[in-house]
Amino acid sequence: MDIKLPWLEDVRNSLSILFKVTLSLSADGVFQLIHFGPKNFSIHLVSADLDNPAELIALQERYQQNGIYLVHLWQDIWHTRKEQVLGRITSILGFNQRIHGRKTQVISVDQQTADDFFNHNHLQASAKCRYKFALKYNDQIVAVAGFSNLRRMKNTDPGYRSAELIRFASLTGYTVTGGFTKLLKHFIGLYQPNDIMSYADRDWSLGQAYKESGFECSEITQPSVIYLDKKELIRYFPHRLPDDRSEPDFIKIFNTGNLKYILYL
């Protein structure tokens, strides 16, 4: 899983073709980067040889201080989620087509429908959710949000209930203006939680959508250790490693943690 030139070139070539621009690889110390100068956006192509998440966090924060949005793209994510990576970058760069949320209809969907949508349109694929709602436009689902059940929270008043927004995704290539807020309001109206919490992946997100919707950043979680199956390119957190695993088949990688957001209601 060492970074190889063909992988770096595949990312560069794919982005150059998609956005019809000439891109080049550049080095910032040990880090390999692709820059979209006019957009103040950079992609760090992460080597599996790196073993210190603090270095990645420092790199990202240094670029943010200079007004540059930097994301960390790992080699395995590129190989297994290439279409979703390209879709996410398209969205970040502002090249999505826009649909007005007021033209959409909120519907309930089952887990299989949510799974299909998230697997095709969310960088982290799907997750089990208790409540699933979608926005429909011209008979097509264009956004889906998945929520947990309502939970009691320690050190709160009796009857206080919190829910988690587990997943939200729009159809690749589209931004539903006001869609995120519309689905939140629908869930709040039905189940009346006292707060909604959610996590933004620091590898890819600055949490802007949460901030714009009234969420407050309550915590920055620590980076997590992840074990990557070198053959299947499947990621496992330590507590979910297969019992019959062979140690040489896995390498230890990490993420840069999460931004925890809470919407108080």
Nearest to 229 by CA among 217, 220, 216, 240: 240
Instruction: Report d(CA 32, CA 10) in Å as an integer.
Output: 14
Q: Coil, helix or strand for 104?
A: coil
The burial of 119, by beta-carbon neighbours within 10 Å (0-12 exposed, 13-18 middle, 19 or more buried), is given as middle
Q: What is the pLDDT of residue 49?
A: 77
The identity of residue 195, as a single letter, is: D
Q: What is the pLDDT of residue 4?
A: 53
Q: What is the pLDDT of residue 242?
A: 84
Nearest to 67 by CA among 37, 32, 95, 93: 37
Instruction: Report d(CA 102, CA 83) in Å as an integer.
Output: 28
| pLDDT beneath 50: ranges in the chain | 1-3
Instruction: Report d(CA 265, CA 260) in Å as an integer.
Output: 16
Q: Which long-range contacts (CB under 8 A, 24 or more apart) does 76-80 make?
A: 76/1, 76/228, 76/233, 76/235, 76/253, 77/123, 78/7, 78/10, 78/11, 79/7, 79/233, 80/233
214 Ramachandran zone, left/alpha/beta (phi>0; psi -120 to 50): left
Token pair of 50, please? 């790196």
The identity of residue 160, as a single letter, is: Y
* Interval 96-127: pLDDT, tens: 999 999 999 999 999 999 999 999 999 999 99
What lies within 8 Å, CB to CB, of 157 at 6+ separation is: none
* Domains of the chain by start residue, with CATH: 5-92 (3.40.960.10), 98-177 (no CATH)
Number of Cβ within 10 Å of residue 200's Cβ equals 21
Residue 31 in contact with residue 70, Cβ under 8 Å?
Answer: no
